[in-house]
Amino acid sequence: MTFPSIPTAPFFETWSNVAGLYRDAMQANTQQWVQSSANIIHEHTLRAFVAASQACANALAKNAMVVQQESMGRFVDASQKAVGVMGKAFTQAWMGSLQPAK
């Protein structure tokens, strides 16, 4: 009894075609994974940059308000002290003019 011979060329060509199908699927999967991962990284990086910029702007605005309030407080304090100094000088000059000449 003899076995029929199977031509090897069509058999190997069929396996090559099947392997090509899997190769193409793997390439598509890899390309999709890389592209979607890059999109996610890009999106999250952009969101983080925007959030950081907004947080920085908010902190700078808050700082400007605090510094302005403290600055105004220092100017008010300086003005009050200046009025005191001027009042004292005026009082001393006025009191000096009231004393009898020697």
Q: What is the pLDDT along the chain (102 residues), one digit of tens a residue?
A: 566 666 667 778 888 999 999 999 999 999 999 999 999 999 999 999 999 999 999 999 999 999 999 999 999 999 999 999 999 999 988 887 777 666
pTM of the model: 0.54
Q: Which two tokens stand for residue 31?
A: 């390309």
Indicate the burial class of 69 (C-beta count within 10 angstroms; 0-12, 13-18, 19 or more): exposed
Domain extents in the chain: 13-92
Rounded CA gap, 27 and 89, in Å?
91
Rounded CA gap, 18 and 10, in Å?
12
